[in-house]
Amino acid sequence: MGYLCHWIWVNGSKHVCFMGFMSHTRWHLCDARCAPGQTFVDVEANVGYYSAIAASRVGTNGTVWAFEPVPWLHKRLINLAELALTKGYTIQPQQVALADKPGRTTLWTSQVDNIGWNTIVPGKMPEKDVDEAIDVEVQTIDHFFANPQVKPPDVVKIDVEFGEPAVLDGMSGLFESGLRPTLICEVSQKTVKEVMQRLEPLGYKSYVSLKDGRLRPVSLPLPYNTVTWVFAIDS
């Protein structure tokens, strides 16, 4: 783990990594909830920080799927995947956005000092914050795991700036098959009810992570505008 994460810190975004904007809560969650041989899905992988952590945890018998539609960030993921391969880890970079149905859409990237603030949800980014409007491919998680020879996800990290409900809708086939991966999901005041409406009927419960790695059950209202919750069948 140390080697891959060191590469991200040195060659990744200095604004995000060196200034400490990456969530240490999610760092511990990725580290604690992944196990050798598992499949980890990183939705909006950015420079690959959590993908690197997950690859080190799932090991040489596991796989990380890293989805990132922003072109220059996707190139970072390709570099990371090439480095990971030299250590025996498998990271599969995919230059697509994930939502509820395939197609193409507009992705708005931000000019504010946060390279993770990109969204395909119309009207969510203030005009003054927009840097570029990019045409991107959209797919569903179901699409990538429809082949029975591809091992389905055990852990899914979702951080898509208001697009969480659509990503979950794009997993409906996996849910219908009985699969219940652990979900590490950033939720906001605007999306948390929609997320819970989708997951609670499937048997999921909501948790936050404590500093020692244990999970504590939580409920609404959110303590902050955005927060990282874990959705799991059990703790």
Given this model, what pLDDT does residue 114 score?
Answer: 67
User: Helix crossing, 49-58 with 71-86: angle to 10°?
Assistant: 30
DSSP output for 79-142: HHHHHHHHTT--EEEE--EE-SS-EEEEEEEE-SS-TT-EE-STT-S-GGGEEEEEEEEEE-HH
**Where are the extended beta strands (E) located within the chain?**
39-43, 63-67, 91-94, 97-98, 103-110, 118-119, 130-139, 155-158, 182-188, 205-209, 215-217, 226-232
Given this model, what pLDDT does residue 65 score?
Answer: 97
More confident residue, 23 or 81: 81
Mean pLDDT is lowest, of 10-14, 146-150, 199-203, for 10-14
Q: What is the pLDDT of residues 25-83, one digit of tens each?
A: 666 677 778 999 999 999 999 889 889 989 999 999 999 999 999 998 999 999 999 99
Question: Does residue 123 come out as left (phi exceeding 0), alpha (psi in the -120 to 50 range) or beta?
Answer: left
Given this model, what pLDDT does residue 32 score?
Answer: 73
Domain boundaries, the chain: 2-232
Rounded to 5°, angle at Cα 154 from 149 and 155: 135
Q: What is the pLDDT of residues 94-132, one digit of tens each?
A: 999 999 999 999 998 887 766 667 888 888 777 888 788
Say if residue 191's pLDDT is above 90.
no
91 — pLDDT class (breaks 50, 70, 90): very high
Look over the chain and give the mean of its residue pLDDT values, rounded to a whole number: 84
User: Domain 2-232's class?
Assistant: alpha beta
Beta-bridge partners for 94: 67
Say if residue 225's pLDDT is above 70.
no
Given this model, what pLDDT does residue 94 score?
Answer: 97
Say if residue 195's pLDDT is above 70.
yes
More confident residue, 200 or 1: 200
Given this model, what pLDDT does residue 12 score?
Answer: 47
Pairing status of strand 205-209 against strand 226-232:
antiparallel
Cα separation of 152 and 155, whole Å? Answer: 9
Given this model, what pLDDT does residue 234 score?
Answer: 72
